[in-house]
Structure 1
Amino acid sequence: MSRADTVCVRRRTPRILERVLVLRADLVDEIVAHARREYPLESCGQLVGPEAGDEPGRYVPMTNTDGIESDFAFSPKEDIRLERELDEAGERRIVVVHSHTRVPRRPLTDTGLPEAYPSVKDVEFMGWTPDQHWLIVGLTAADAEPEVRSYRLADGEPAEEEIQVVESYMFAHTGSDDVPDHR
């Protein structure tokens, strides 16, 4: 038997971070709705919030200037305008958001990776913004069930982090036992 006959395909499983990204449900709904509207193109945007926090307050949908189904690029004009707005408002970018409508540069075979997994280009860009989360919405059709996942780089590799969806940030870190009774 030759060496070529004994080669097996190694499945990569994403590394899981213990860190949790907490997002309000209305923001997740906006992100998914944007991805559905843009399908089959990739949608893109930013979750922004106060300079001194880690809780995004609003979603800023942006124009994908690439205009192809397997890639995205923020409009430079919108990106500069957003940066100025954030500086004036004392806010910062917290989460880079985009969708994968057919995961770029990955064959349609079983790789062991989820649909909403960073592409090679995503990983390169993640290195430029190591303080930001990268949220990816995987959609195989405009009306398909979305797959929403978040990543950060850990030792140069994408590491998935848990997403906790809450109605309000007010009690998100204290647990449901601390929510006052509504009598």
Structure 2
Amino acid sequence: MLTITQDLYDRIVAHGRADHPDEACGVVAGPAGSDRPERFVPMLNAARSPTFYEFDSGDLLKLYRDLDDRDEEPVIVYHSHTATEAYPSRTDISYANEPGAHYVLVSTADTDEAGPFQFRSFRIVDGEVTEEEVTVVEAY
């Protein structure tokens, strides 16, 4: 189960909407071993694509150095789908390389500023996708 604050939830959704029609992507870091998302880290989609996301290699290196310096790890790896449901694609599954992370997908398909959207979380380990419950709290 993923437990996330309302603020982080809202920031992930807002990033997805802001980058639409391209896919948005980023990480929510937390203390190593805690499974508690705390620090929102939006990333640039280097692919600048409505159907694919890719972290810039330089940005990714900087992120992992920063995580190491802060004794953090990526608790959530998120991205948006702009025209399909919030479910990992084959490409998403093949690129999932953080077995301890929650993979959050937000679908911005058929939404507007106030319209509905999908927010779903998955564990992806060795190519196997398992959806998990998301609990939104005001604070930890």
**TM-score category of the 2 structures, normalised to the smaller one:** over 0.9
Give ranges in structure 1 of 5+ residues lacking alignment. 1-19, 104-114, 170-183
Partner residue in 1 for 2:135 = 164
Partner residue in 2 for 1:12 = none
For residues 59 and 80 of structure 1, the distance between their equivalents in structure 2, rounded to whole angstroms, comes to 17
Q: Does the 8 Å contact 2:108/2:118 carry over to 1?
A: yes
Structure ranking higher in strand proportion: 2
For residues 155 and 52 of structure 1, the distance between their equivalents in structure 2, rounded to whole angstroms, comes to 20
Matched, 1:72 2:43: no
TM-score normalized by structure 2?
0.93
For residues 26 and 164 of structure 1, the distance between their equivalents in structure 2, rounded to whole angstroms, comes to 13
Matched, 1:153 2:134: no
| One-letter amino acid of the counterpart of residue 95, structure 2 | F
Select which of 85, 107, 117 maps to 1:138. 107
TM-score normalized by structure 1?
0.72
Partner residue in 2 for 1:51 = 32
| One-letter amino acid of the counterpart of residue 133, structure 1 | H
Q: Does the 8 Å contact 1:39/1:142 carry over to 2?
A: no
Deviations 1:43-102 (A, max 9, x none): 000010101301011110000011111000011111111111111111111111000001
Partner residue in 1 for 2:3 = 22
Q: Does the 8 Å contact 1:49/1:58 carry over to 2?
A: yes
Count of aligned residue pairs for this structure pair: 138
Asked which structure has the greater CA Rg, the reply is 1
1:97 alignment partner, SS class: strand
Identity %: 40
Matched, 1:33 2:14: yes
Give ranges in structure 2 of 5+ residues lacking alignment. none
2:133 alignment partner, SS class: strand
Question: After the TM superposition, which segments of 4 or more aligned residues of structure 1 sit over 6 Å from their partners?
Answer: none
For residues 75 and 154 of structure 1, the distance between their equivalents in structure 2, rounded to whole angstroms, comes to 23
